[in-house]
Chains A and B, each alone.
Chain A
Amino acid sequence: MLLALAVLSAAALSAAALAGRAEAQDVGGALAQLATNKYDDTEAALSVLALSGDPAAVGIVSALAEGRLVFGGTPPRVFIQGEGGALLDPLTRQPVADAPAVKPVRVNNRVRRAIEAASGALSLVSPDPAKRLEAAQAVGRSRDVAALPALDAVLAKETDPKVKSALALARASIVIGQAGVSEADRIAAIEVVGAQGNQDALALLRSVPADASPAVKDAAAAAIAGIERNLALWGAAQNVWYGLSLGSVLLLAAIGLAITFGVMGVINMAHGEMVMLGAYTTFVVQELIRTHNPGLFDWSLIIAIPLAFLFTGLIGVIIERTVIRFLYGRALETLLATWGISLILQQAIRTLFGPTNREVGAPSWMSGSFEIGQLSITYGRLWIIVFALLVFVALLAVLRLTRIGLEMRAVTQNRRMAASMGIRTNWVDAMTFGLGSGIAGMAGVALSQIDNVSPNLGQSYIIDSFLVVVFGGVGNLWGTLVGAMSLGVANKLLEPYAGAVLGKIALLVIVILFIQKRPRGLFALKGRSIEA
């Protein structure tokens, strides 16, 4: 904002300069004027410097601002006072051999404003294109008519295409709402702004004066309609992105469940608590890193992932060996027993860590965001999607390529046959449960980044995860993937219309109805062997 003000006043200044008040036409002349140490001359010199675009001008203006611009000698010359008081030539920046006695060039409030203006304008002509771009955008946002002549001046000289289009846009933004502009000029401006296609452009287009000609109004209306379509598309894309992000969270939470349910037919109600334990593992890892080796903080998640996998996997194996193996073939009893386990685990964490949320930090590579078109993409969400897909692929690989994966698939398809082929189904069950729980733990590491780490963390995911598994079809990982992503996207696409809570309710109802229609899910196994 400050920059915009500065650019504006500089533009006004240079407009005045162009009108003929300036006596000096180049940087040399401006230096001579500065040496007179008169406010008027200083101001005039600043306006020349502002438009010069000379790299040296930037140094001179900033030296003046910092009180390091001095003058002295006969005839008076201007120097820049360097480090340790050495006098430097303002153009070459070389020390001056015969340094005269010097005084700083005087500055009053008027000059100070002129300095600000000049440094703003200089950024419009700065050699750095990034700075020019920023200055052009600032002018565009300010929409002050006074900046027009300056813009026209730099527009003619500008070569960088990006900066040039920013300047053109800035100019169009100003022209569009200004009185006394020719119809052609205004329509051209509307086109430039319309091509922008964002919210700002929409506001600009709506500011077309009421007394503008019908042609102008039509052009504006067309441009507005185009932008609104465009924005709706981007908005949908953004929602799809949020949906994929939510879907990957659901995928992480549900995929372990899909394995235990698919292979063992076991509903593990404590699955959410495995996620919660994974999140707390992350918390403990970060605490240890903070106290022992803060430099490793950016690695904390990478360290936590295998630890969470091993820890929750171990807990899973313990649960399977001590409780679940006695309940095979009794799915509903297993459901109740694991619910009991979930209560115990929650209370254990509550006792150990307290009932309140625990702070889990984000490493630097997870924070921040970038934009694609009108899409805003945060690194945190991006990494979670990547992580979810990696886990998915890794799991597929385990199931397809390893011995234990082969045995798991065998047990899924025909437990008795697998047992009679010499597969130790007990061991497969324990490993499956451990694997499912371990994946839940890894999901917990990811979820610690986007959700509150509290003893109740798991509960908020358990119902959603079940719906994903049931929706996708049991015993089919691809079904889980599709189920998670479609539920995530559907949720986020419903939200703008129904609100977060109603959207969620609507989704629950849809899934309930869907299960009625296809009781075995999206990718159900078919055939004679599937009995009710």
Chain B
Amino acid sequence: MSTSETRPPALLTTSGLVFLGVLGAAVVLVPALNLLTAPDSALHVPTYVVSLLGKYLTYALLALSVDLIWGYVGILSLGHGAFFALGGYAMGMYLMRQIGPRGVYGDPVLPDFMVFLNWKELPWFWYGFDLFPFAALMVLLAPGILALVFGWFAFRSRVTGVYLSIITQAMTFALLLAFFRNDMGFGGNNGLTDFKDILGFNIQADGTRVVLFVLSAVALGLGYVLCRFLVRSHFGKVLVAIRDAETRVRFTGYRAENYKLVAFVVSAMLAGIAGALYVPQVGIINPSEFSPANSIEIIVWVAVGGRGTLVGAALGAVLVNYAKTYFTSGLLAPYWLFMLGGLFVAVTLFLPKGIVGTFYDWRARRRASDDIPGAEPAAAPKPAE
């Protein structure tokens, strides 16, 4: 690091390369093992597992988006599930329009739930969602604009710390209530489901599932590189400075609220993309995605993996969700909430830096003791606040 004054830190660190390598391997291996092996082969990966893994990857992207603002800016959003859900709804609306006349009621334009509610024509905000590019744009814009408006108000008035956490929670709660209403025109309680195809491909087909998995992996990889690019730039250094001493940043002449706002909007858009990839793989989006409990769960993924490490957030999301799948499907199902709750407590008490953060610390100590120059200083966040 002694020469770092002329060379910014590498875009990809060792752990980043390992992370992208694992993702790349998954992109090659999982589709191959699904499509090229016989169903009875020991190596065969069934399609439902492909979709399950794809779901984990979208969660990992969501966790990444939370880590960008929590780990690097210190904004603990307890409402990030809202951005994920909005992206998901935008994709869901496209998928609903693709059903066309194949719905139960056979209406060529109106989705089934609108026919059921006796609606005569498509609400204006459903226009355009039959076109994929428009829907894809909305996947970014819907969460992005919400984040922009919300963040503009919140950061400008310097709402910080637990206050900010609580109003983000109130935000997602308000959206939860709103989306439960049939009148909102988003399918109410049941949400959007019974999707048929995406861009003309059958959404249930093995090939489509594999492609969705690959796309999720690619999105996660790109998302990671984007976040790395941001946090190592001058912009990213200001973000960390805001996390550690916001007042100092203001007195240094930076508009802290603008930096926060940019990070918040980027993060919300990443979450929206994650939601959009999530919906076709699980086949449904409903208001429960807005529930505050969901949003808080994302935080524990990041905390388990290691806040402020990006790789850790993704790892934490996959680990916790794998554990959830494993335990909630077996005899231990009633005890899952005990475990999840215990995880929250244990991580905050005993592993405040998470798995990856603790590993970085250990590696830095070992290098220091081995007197190896160039030890990468762990971007260890201070404990919140």
Contact = CB atoms under 8 A, between A and B. Distances in A.
Contact of A323 (B170, B180, B345): B345
A508 B178 CA distance: 11
A337 B347 CA distance: 8
B148 to A, nearest CB: 14
17 contacts: A267-B165, A331-B161, A332-B385, A336-B296, A337-B344, A340-B341, A343-B341, A347-B337, A347-B338, A348-B338, A463-B170, A463-B173, A463-B292, A504-B174, A512-B170, A515-B163, A519-B158
Interface string B217-259: 0000000000000000000000000000011000000000000
B154 interface: yes
Interface string A78-97: 00000000000000000000
A335 B165 contact: yes
Nearest to B155: A516
Interface in B304-361: 334-335, 337-338, 340-345, 347-349, 352
Interface of A: 267, 269, 323, 326-327, 329-337, 339-344, 346-348, 350-351, 459, 463, 466-467, 470, 501-502, 504-505, 508-509, 511-513, 515-517, 519, 531-532
B171 interface: yes
Given A512-B174, A513-B153, 10 more contacts: A267-B162, A331-B162, A332-B165, A332-B384, A337-B349, A340-B341, A343-B338, A350-B334, A350-B337, A532-B158
A327 B349 contact: yes
Contact of B344 (A339, A346, A347, A467): A339
Given A331-B385, A335-B76, A467 B166 contact: yes
A471 to B, nearest CB: 10
Interface string B158-195: 11111101110111011001101100000000000000
A501 B180 contact: yes
B88 to A, nearest CB: 20
Contacts of A334: 348
A516 B161 contact: no
Contact of B247 (A327, A512, A515, A531): A531
Contact of B341 (A347, A501, A509, A517): A347
Contacts of A470: 163, 166-167
B172 to A, nearest CB: 10
Contacts, number: 138
Interface residues of B, number: 48
A350 B162 CA distance: 29
Nearest to A521: B163
A329 B170 contact: no
Contact of B384 (A330, A343, A501, A505): A330
B348 A327 contact: yes
Nearest to B150: A512
A315 to B, nearest CB: 14
B157 interface: yes
Contacts of B340: 340, 343
Contacts of B173: 463, 508
B157 A516 contact: yes
A532 B159 CA distance: 8
A327 B266 CA distance: 31
Contact of B348 (A333, A463, A517): A333
Contacts of B158: 519, 532
A466 B344 contact: no
Nearest to A531: B247
Given A327-B349, A512-B170, A336 B303 contact: yes
Contacts of A459: 293
A170 B162 CA distance: 63
B163 A340 contact: no
B106 interface: no
Contacts of B296: 269, 336, 339
A481 to B, nearest CB: 19
Contacts of B177: 501, 504-505, 508
B341 A344 contact: yes
Nearest to B340: A343
Interface of B: 76, 153-154, 156-163, 165-167, 169-171, 173-174, 177-178, 180-181, 246-247, 292-293, 296, 299-300, 303, 334-335, 337-338, 340-345, 347-349, 352, 383-385
A467 B158 CA distance: 17
A532 B343 CA distance: 30
A335 B162 contact: yes
Contacts of B385: 329-332
A464 to B, nearest CB: 9
B154 A516 contact: yes
B162 to A, nearest CB: 5
Contacts of A326: 349
A80 to B, nearest CB: 67
Contacts of B159: 515-516, 519
A269 B341 CA distance: 12
A38 B185 CA distance: 75
A200 to B, nearest CB: 34
Contacts of A511: 167, 170
Contacts of A343: 337-338, 340-341, 344
Contacts of B247: 531-532
Which of B154, B165, B167 is most buried by chain A, counting CB atoms within 10 A of its CB? B167
Contacts of A330: 348, 383-385
Contacts of B76: 332, 335
A501 B173 CA distance: 11
Contacts of A267: 162, 165-166
Nearest to A344: B341
Nearest to B334: A351
Given A501-B180, A532-B246, A333 B161 contact: no
B163 to A, nearest CB: 6
Given A331-B385, A505-B177, A519 B162 contact: no
Contacts of B344: 336-337, 339-341, 343
A368 B264 CA distance: 53
B151 to A, nearest CB: 11
Contacts of A344: 337-338, 341-342, 345
Nearest to B173: A463
A522 to B, nearest CB: 13
A504 B170 CA distance: 11
A208 to B, nearest CB: 39
Contacts of A327: 348-349
B247 to A, nearest CB: 6
B349 A512 contact: no
B341 A341 contact: yes
Contacts of B342: 340, 344
A508 B383 CA distance: 30
A504 B176 CA distance: 11
Contacts of B334: 347, 350-351
Nearest to B157: A516
A336 B341 contact: no
A512 B337 contact: no
A337 to B, nearest CB: 4
A332 B75 CA distance: 10
A346 B293 CA distance: 13
B381 to A, nearest CB: 11
A412 to B, nearest CB: 16
Contacts of B157: 515-517, 519
Contacts of B292: 463
A364 to B, nearest CB: 36
Nearest to B171: A512
A261 B160 CA distance: 15
A337 B348 contact: yes
A333 B337 contact: no
Given A344-B342, A347-B334, A505 B299 contact: no
Contacts of B178: 501-502, 505
A348 B167 CA distance: 29
B270 to A, nearest CB: 21
A306 B228 CA distance: 55
Nearest to A261: B162
B161 A505 contact: no
